[in-house]
Every structure is written in C-alpha cells, then in structure tokens.
Amino acid sequence: MIANDWIQIFFSLTMVVLISPLVGRYLAWIYQSHHLSLERTVYRLLNVDPEKEMTWKEYGGAIVVSNGLFFVAGFLVLWAQAILPLNPRHLSPLTAEVAFNTAASFVTNTNWQAYAGEAQLSNFSQMVAITFLMFVGANTGIAALVAIFRGFTRSGSATLGNYWSDFFRFLIRAFLPACFLMALVHVWQGSPQTFQTAVSSKTLEGASQTLIVGPVASLESVKNLGTNGGGFYNANGAHPYENPTPLTNTLEFLEMGVFTFSLPFFFGRMIGRPRQGQVLFIVIFSLYLAGLGVIEYSEKMPNPLLAHAAIEQQATPFQDGGNTEGKEVRLGITQTSLFSNTTIAATTGAVDGAMDSMNPLSVLVYLVHMFLNEEPGGKGVGFAGLLKEAILAVFLAGLMVGRTPEFLGKKIESREIKLSALSLLVTPLLVLGLTALSVVIPAGKSSMDNPGPHGFMEVLYAFASGNANNGSAMAGLNVSTPYYAILIGVEMILSRFLPLLPLLAMAGALAKKKTLPETSGTFKTDTSLFVVLLLGFMILFAALTFLPPLILGPLLEHLSILHGVSF
C-alpha cells in the first residue's frame, strides 16, 4: 500500500468516529424534545394524534398498513409508467413481476434492482416511485428502531410510543434537510439535476452519443443517507454521473455511515447510558475495520491466473493497479474498498464498482457482513438485530455469572428468547433454503453469469443481499427473470417484517418489565469484556450457520485461484 491509501483510510475512519457521536446526540434530541409547530401542522393534515401511545401490536400494525400503501403507490407508478408524465422517451412500463420486485425492494429499504435505471425508468418513476420509496422505507426503519429502543427506556409501560410522531420527527428534522443539502453538494461535484432525460451529442469521432440525465443528485443523496442504495443508473455509484469525483465517493460512503454509525450513540443517549452506546459502536466498528482490511488486501492482490499475460497488476507511480476489473480509475482500489465495505456494513447496497468482479476474499467479507446484518445495519432494523444478538449473548453469559440474565436492567426470560430465536431463524431459513433451491433447478442456474464457485456465489449473494435488505448484487446474475424477481421480492418482504415484528413484540414485553437496578452481581454490558463476548458470539454464530456455503463459494474460489485453477 502506498501512503495515499493510508491517508484516505485514516481520513475516512476519522470522519466516521468524529461525526457519529454528534449525530447520535442530535437524533436523541429529536426524540426527546417537543413537537415542532411544522410537525403539528403535518399531524393535523394527516388527522393523527401524535400523543396517542401505541402498544407493540398497534405500532406494528401502523408499520404494516402504511408500508403496504407505500408499496402499492410505488408499484402503480412503475407499472403505469407509460401513461404517466415526464416520459419523452416513451419507455414501456416494467413487467408486473419486476414492478413488484422493485416496489418491494424499495419499500423494504433493500433497493435491489432487477431493472436498469437509465434504460427502463422515466424521470417521473425515478422521482415519484424510487425517490419517494427511498425516503419512506428508510424512515420506517428508524421509527421501528425508536420503538424498539423504548422497550429498554421504559419501565412498566404497555406502549412503545406513536409511530407517526416517530416517523415524521426524523423525516422533518434530519432526513429531508440532510438530503437536500447533500444533493446540492452532489450537483456541485457534477451529478446532473434536471428534468431533461436524453441529451444527444456528436463525439469527436463523429459518432452520435445519447447521454441520459435527470434528477440524479436528489436521488443520490437519499440513496446514501437512507442506506437505500438503488442507483439512478444501472452501474450505480460506478457511473460517473452518480459519483463524478473521488470527493463524491468519500461523501457518499460517509453519507451511508452518518446515520447508521450514529445509531449506537443514539441508543446510548436514549437509554441514558452513553457508555453502552460507545461499546456497541466499538463492536460494529471493529467488524467494519476488519472487513476493510481484508477487502483492501484482497483487491490489491495480483491475480496469479494472469501471471503469464504480461500485465502490470502492482501499484506504480503511474497506475493504481490491483484488481481493476469493474472498478473506475478515478476512485482506485482504496476508495472502492472503503465504499464497498461501508455499503455492505451499512446495508446500503450502492456500489461504486462491480461486486461480481471482486476477488473472493472481498466477497467473503461482503457475505459475512450481510449474514451478520447488524453492524451497523440498515436504517434501524440492522441495529435492532444487533440488540437481538446482544440479548442472546447476554443470556448465555448471564447464566454463566449465576443470575437470570439481564440486559440494560431488563430480565431476559423465555419470552424474549423465544422472540429473538424466532427472529434469528429467518436469515438461515431464507438464505440457505432459497440458495439451495436456486443452485439446483434450471430456472435458478440459467441466470448465472459465471461458472464454478463464482456462479454459486452470485446466487448466494443475491439471497443474502435480499435477506439483509442490502440490495447490492453480484450483478452478473440475471435477476429480471420472473423466477428471481418474484422469489427475491417475497424474500425481501419476509426478511424485513418477519424479524421486525418479533423484535417489536419483544420491545413490548421489555417495556412492560421493571428496569432493575444494577448490583455487583449483574454482568455489566458496557465493558471491553462485553465487546469480546458479543463479537465472539456474533462471529461464532454466523460461522456455524454459513460455513458450508462460504467454503464452497469464496474459500473454494480463493484457494482455486492460488492453486492456478480457473473455471
């Protein structure tokens, strides 16, 4: 690695560490202060009473019904694109299954894309379906997370707060303003922002070229700030219009991290134990750092299979080198590693290089990040998953100190374990089950773009991404077929709501419990020991669940490359 790589990494990590606590504090203020008059106006407009407390069932019901309508709105726009305005190119509507897949994908904050944006969506669809769903999907996650937090902040309470109030506070005080501001920065750096769609040009060699433009910048900021990840263009963040400069690349992955890495601090403030927040941050940041290290190493590694082709793969003063397949020259290996590690850890799913052409060890990291899906996790739900893992780890550890385990003053009993375990089952069942099905039946196999373990990884990656509500893809896999469009669409909805509702129920049960005072017999969860315990538990658990496919996928590919075996 050259000095510049270290500087870029150090700079980016420092930014994350500096910004996150401040944003966490701001988020806590948002949820611990009174309504703004603007918010009251909105509540009046929507005919909701922001003071009405909801039980976990009412809260969950509000999430399901409102998201159901968001989904329908998005689906209708995509499906009826041909008759809607702002479509001078007369693009045909998406097929019903791809429209379903897309609406499901964006409402669940996954942003899996079974379509190519610039070729298939009108500017109206990009705004009213895509940008809209990006806002509400992310916002729902934050609201759900706040409700889950209240399971810990409240004592002897039957309710978890008001969904609408939780939804609009974040939107009005943080999300919309931040998106607006960053959108302008993206315009400044070169992202188009216009209602035009196609610009014809004549190249220097006299050929005609059609440049596709549109409201890109406004989509770009919410794509990243909302850890959404669905690009305006098919190439996503690799496209020079979405990510014109190294600065926008850095800003984009910082945007992804700004709300997600602040969640532990937010949590710590909400429960009145800032130290607990710091400890949880250390847990997710350690996983993030470890992932970054492996990716950077793996992508800089020369490919032994190219040894005889007389290709310069190393970094020299005149080139960045490394695995440049699917990467952009302006970004280089380090910017791409930082971006891809963040996009997976934060379950954004935006990419600034082709995941399908990454080296196997990098893909291993992506897969493990997605299997963990709680560091720092997508808007809200990922962090809730971390709390779930913490509860299970504390349960085992708590037994080992000789008391009924407690987490943050709440006794962990059979109901919590039941709900956590239920939520825990979803990932292995969906990812392993759907992958197993798709790698044997022709409908699944025919979509693969690469042979051997790499093809296997494409399918595994697709279902892991859908399950983690990540949305990135090893895009060689053709997922616009009805088989994948419907299967992944259903998977995304199940993966979003099946773990979420048990966690809400658990929060409901926790809120009812008394918060117990700490004694010297209580296992403290704001210590380095807890960091080790939780990390150990998470890694052990993910390894035990996913070791077989990881061996037959990335590890087999890595060892094959080292042994000079290609497929």
Partner 1 sequence: MKQKEVQNYGMYMEATLQSLAMLNPAKLYRNPVMFIVEIGSILTTSMAIYSVMTHSGGTAFGAMISIWLWLTIGFANFAESLAELRGKAQASSLRSTRAETTARLVTPVGFSHVSGSELKKKDQFVVEAGEIIPTDGEILEGVASIDESAITGESAPVIRESGGDRSGVTGGTRVLAGSLRVSVSNNPGETFLDRMISLVEGANRQKSPNEIALTILLVGLTLIFLFVVAAIPAFSSYSGIKSSPTILIALLVCLIPTTIAGLLPAIGIAGIDRAFRANVIAKSGKAVEVAGDIDILLLDKTGTITFGNRQAVQFIPVAGVSEKEVARESYFASLSDETPEGKSIVLLAAPMLTLKTPPGGLVPIPFTPETRMSGADSVEGEIRKGAEDAVSAYAGSPFSSDIKEIISTIAKSGGTPLVVAKNKKPLGVIHLKDIIKPGLKERFARLRKMGVTTVMVTGDNPLTARAIAEEAGLDDFFAQAKPEDKMALIKKEQEKGRLVAMTGDGTNDAPSLAQADVALAMNSGTQAAKEAGNMVDLDSDPTKIIEVVEIGKQLLITRGALTTFSIANDVAKYFAILPAMFVVAYPQLKVLNIMGLATPESAVTSAIIFNALIIPALIPLALKGVSYRPVGASALLRRNLLIYGLGGILVPFVGIKLIDMALVLLHFT
Partner 2 sequence: MKLFGQSLRATIFLVFVCGILYPVAVTAVGKLFFSGQANGTLVRGSNGQIVGSTLIAQGFKDPKYFHPRPSAAMTPDGSAAQPYDAAFSSASNLGPDNSAQIKAMTDAATAYRLENHLLPSALVPIDAVTASGSGLDPDISLANAYLQAPRIAEVRHINPDRVKALIKENTSKPQMGFLGTSRINVLRLNLALDKQP
**Contacts with partner 2 in 107-146 (CB under 8 A)?**
115-116, 118-120, 127-129, 131-132, 134-136
Output the smallest distance, CB 233 to partner 1, in A: 32
Q: Smaller CB distance to partner 2: residue 155 or 234?
A: 234
Q: Smaller CB distance to partner 2: residue 189 or 545?
A: 189
34 scored as a contact of partner 2 (CB under 8 A): no
Q: Smaller CB distance to partner 1: residue 199 or 401?
A: 401
Output the smallest distance, CB 446 to partner 1, in A: 13
Q: For residue 248, what are its two tokens?
A: 């926008």
Residue from the set 284, 475, 485, 488 that interacts with partner 2 by CB under 8 A: 475
Alpha-carbon span 79 to 15, nearest angstrom:
41
What binding mask, one character per residue, do residues 320-349 give for partner 2 by CB under 8 A, x or -? xxxxxxxxxxxxx--x--------------
Alpha-carbon span 144 to 62, nearest angstrom:
10
Alpha-carbon span 480 to 96, nearest angstrom:
11
Q: Smaller CB distance to partner 2: residue 204 or 440?
A: 204
227 scored as a contact of partner 2 (CB under 8 A): no
Output the smallest distance, CB 158 to partner 1, in A: 16
Q: Smaller CB distance to partner 2: residue 121 or 387?
A: 121
Output the smallest distance, CB 529 to partner 2, in A: 38
**Block residue for tokens 């690469």:** 450
CB under 8 Å to 400, separation ≥6 — which residues? none
Q: Specify the 3-state DSSP secondary structure of 236.
A: helix
Q: For residue 377, what are its two tokens?
A: 């996790």
Residue from the set 24, 215, 274, 499 that interacts with partner 2 by CB under 8 A: 215
Q: Specify the 3-state DSSP secondary structure of 60.
A: helix
Residues in region 135-194 near partner 2 by CB under 8 A: 135-136, 164, 167, 176, 179-180, 183-184, 187-194
Binding segment for partner 2 (CB under 8 A), chosen from 31-39, 59-67, 271-279, 491-499, is: 59-67
**Block residue for tokens 């060892």:** 559
Q: Smaller CB distance to partner 1: residue 97 or 389?
A: 389
| Rg (the chain; Cα; Å) | 23
Residue 319 φ then ψ, to 5°: -155, 160
8 Å CB contact between 151 and 510: yes
Alpha-carbon span 534 to 414, nearest angstrom:
20
Binding segment for partner 2 (CB under 8 A), chosen from 38-46, 265-273, 484-492, 510-518, is: 38-46
Determine the distance from the C-alpha atom of residue 232 to the mean position of all C-alpha atoms in its chain, rounded to a whole number. 17
Q: Among partner 2, partner 1, none, what binds residue 320 when CB lies within 5 to 8 Å by partner kind?
A: partner 2
Q: What's the DSSP call for residue 50? A: T
First-to-last C-alpha distance (Å) of the chain: 30
Q: Among partner 2, partner 1, none, what binds residue 401 when CB lies within 5 to 8 Å by partner kind?
A: partner 1
Q: Smaller CB distance to partner 1: residue 172 or 436?
A: 436
Q: Smaller CB distance to partner 2: residue 74 or 508?
A: 74
Q: For residue 114, what are its two tokens?
A: 């079974």
Q: Smaller CB distance to partner 2: residue 211 or 529?
A: 211
Q: Specify the 3-state DSSP secondary structure of 411.
A: strand
Q: How many residues bind partner 2 (CB under 8 A)?
A: 133
Q: Smaller CB distance to partner 1: residue 140 or 435?
A: 435
Amino acid type, 41: T
Q: Among partner 1, partner 2, none, what binds residue 158 when CB lies within 5 to 8 Å by partner kind?
A: none
Residues found near partner 1 in the complex (CB under 8 A): 155, 392, 395-404, 412-414, 416-418, 421-422, 424-425, 428-429, 432-433, 435-437, 439-440, 445, 453, 456, 513-517, 519-524, 527, 529, 532-533, 536, 540, 543-549, 551-552, 555-556, 559-560, 562-563, 565
CB under 8 Å to 50, separation ≥6 — which residues? 35, 39, 40, 43, 162, 164, 165
Alpha-carbon span 256 to 221, nearest angstrom:
9
Residue from the set 83, 207, 402, 528 that interacts with partner 2 by CB under 8 A: 207
Alpha-carbon span 492 to 481, nearest angstrom:
16
DSSP H stretches of helix in 154-245? 163-170, 176-189, 216-225
203 scored as a contact of partner 2 (CB under 8 A): yes
Q: Among partner 1, partner 2, none, what binds residue 136 when CB lies within 5 to 8 Å by partner kind?
A: partner 2
Q: Specify the 3-state DSSP secondary structure of 406.
A: strand
Q: For residue 92, what are its two tokens?
A: 């045909």
Residue from the set 38, 82, 158, 311 that interacts with partner 2 by CB under 8 A: 311
8 Å CB contact between 545 and 428: yes
